[in-house]
Amino acid sequence: MQQYFIEPLMKQGEIYTFTKEQAHHLRDVLRLNHETVRLVDPKHAWFAECYSEGKDFVALIKEEDPRINEPSIDITLAMALIRREKFELVLQKAAELGVKRIVPFESSRCVVRAKSEKSEKQKERYRSIVLSASEQCKRNVVPEVTDVVKFSELDRYRSEASLAAYENASVHSVKISERLNARSVTVVIGPEGGFSEDEVNELIEMGYEPVTLGSRILRAETAALYACSVIAEGAF
Ligand code: SAH
């Protein structure tokens, strides 16, 4: 079943008119007509029947879908800027894993630097990645992707449990699974070059607790997906 996030708040029995892109995808690409689709407005999820109405493609809102396909824990992933295709993979998988907020950040050992002249276009691209991932996996919410923040701004994104995955933490350090009796969790993942000692100390001063992801050194994108999976696993 196709899902779309829609802007207007709908009511049962109302007609939603698809945007040009949505209509093209549904009518021309998928050739769906009088099929049921899932439409998610800011407050509800609806089952609706789509069909052509003159030159428009519309959907009759039939009944509410009570399923809330969101984890019971509010997950924030603070992700260091890494190579584009890897970063975009993390965005897509984090959206599927139920992350609520993704905070890209720059740190001293980032190989990739944020380019201000590209930031608007890049933000648009990031948003479309998490939007289509959220539609595909039938979420009720599209994750927020913030602007790229400076390392020192990470203290603004702490949660009830604020964890920093540190590759040099001893394997006897705290594991993520030991900190999940919280309603909200932030996990910080460093870049390909890892965190410097100073950065780890700065994170601790901000109130982040270093955690280990085990004895192997994972690539940044693996660490991000592993951390989000561990957090989401206990919070279906
Ligand atoms: N270049 C570094 C590794 C960086 S891995 C080195 O070779 O030592 C990128 C990020 O993934 C790290 O900053 C950390 O946030 C996370 N990470 C990878 N493996 C980890 C582990 N075993 N424990 C905790 N965090 C880990």
Look up the pTM and report it.
0.94
Identify the CATH number of the domain in which residue 43 sits.
Answer: 2.40.240.20
- Ligand 1 binding pocket mutation candidate from 217, 226, 229 (most atoms within 8 A of CB): 217
Last residue of a domain, one of 37, 64, 91: 64
Give residue-wise pLDDT tens across range 71-114: 999 999 999 999 999 999 999 999 999 999 999 999 999 988 88
Structure tokens at 148: 């790229």
Over residues 55-66, the pLDDT tens digits come to 999 999 999 999
Do 131 and 19 have their domain in common?
no
Domain co-membership, 133 together with 203? yes
Distance from Cα 116 to the centre of ligand 1, integer Å: 27
Point out the least confidently predicted range of 116-125, 186-195, 203-212: 116-125
Q: Domain check: are 158 and 47 in the same one?
A: no
Report the distance separating Cα 37 and Cα 61, nearest Å.
Answer: 10
Distance CA 117, CA 122 (A): 9
Question: Is 69 among the domain residues?
Answer: no
DSSP calls for 166-233: -TTS-TTS-BGGGG-SSSEEEEEE--TT---HHHHHHHHHHT-EEEB--SS---HHHHHHHHHHHHHH
Please give the Cα distance from 7 to 36 (Å, whole number): 19
Q: Which atom of ligand 1 is nearest to the CA of 216?
A: 22
CATH of the domain at 85: 3.40.1280.10
Q: How far is the CA of 20 from the centre of ligand 1 (A)?
A: 43
Number of domains present in the structure of the chain: 2
**What is the rounded distance in angstroms from the CA atom of residue 81 to the CA atom of residue 23?**
35
> Is 136 contained in some domain?
yes
Does 167 map to a domain? yes
129 with 160, same domain?
Answer: yes
Question: Which of 42, 64, 86 is where one domain is finished?
Answer: 64
Cβ(235)–Cβ(70) below 8 Å: no
Between residues 131 and 111, the one the model is more confident about? 131
Domain extent, residue 134, equals 74-235
